[in-house]
Amino acid sequence: MDDKKRLRDILSRLRKEHPEAKIALHFRTPFELLAATVLSAQTTDVQVNKVTEPLFRKYRSIAAYAEADLDALKKDVSSVNFYNNKAKNIQGSARMIIERFGGKVPGTMEELLMLPGVARKTANIILSGAFGVNEGIAVDTHVNRLANRLGLTRHDDPVKIEKDLMEMTPRAEWGNLSHLLIFHGRKICQARKPKHPDCVLYDICPSRDI
């Protein structure tokens, strides 16, 4: 079975196994998704959602983040890792969006990558989650791990992994693939001890003996 057929089989099985798979971060607007995704680096989505619930009630607009007292904003997000830089990046993005993009979160990869703290993974999440645009595949630690275990890539670099996955996955499925691999990674194919007896991919997984 070639890589594209294997990937289609993987997608089909994971869709049936995880029909609820979707972005785990809570948000109402594109900027809230941007802020939540920035906060999620090296922090669990569960913890980010705890932080953003009061954060999003306090700051109701992009202008509110741009005009916020930075020390207060840092305190508001202080329970996530690297909160100082994340608060600076969120405020910096808010100011750039107002100054350069007319107060609206830009909807292209090129423009999103101009924003402080936004790399390809964050941009892909924003484009897919907020705008329904599949520009690439968000590669986090779960996607990295599963793509390697499933033999879909031999790389550790997220950009190279993304390229490999994009070449074998239909564009319409790029966003879904990321969500499905993340869900499966959290629930079944865990880093330390994969739950092989519960895995719907066990029979086609080249790493099933780990």
CB atoms within 10 A of CB 93: 26
In this structure, how many other beta carbons lie within 10 angstroms of the beta carbon of residue 53?
10
CB 48 within 8 A of CB 80: yes
Distance in angstroms (rounded) separating the CA atoms of residues 20 and 5: 23
Catalytic residues: 121, 140
Contact 159, 120 (CB under 8 A): yes
- The CA distance from 204 to 195, in Å, is 15
Which residues have C-beta within 8 Å of that of residue 153, sequence separation ≥ 6? 147, 160, 161, 164, 165
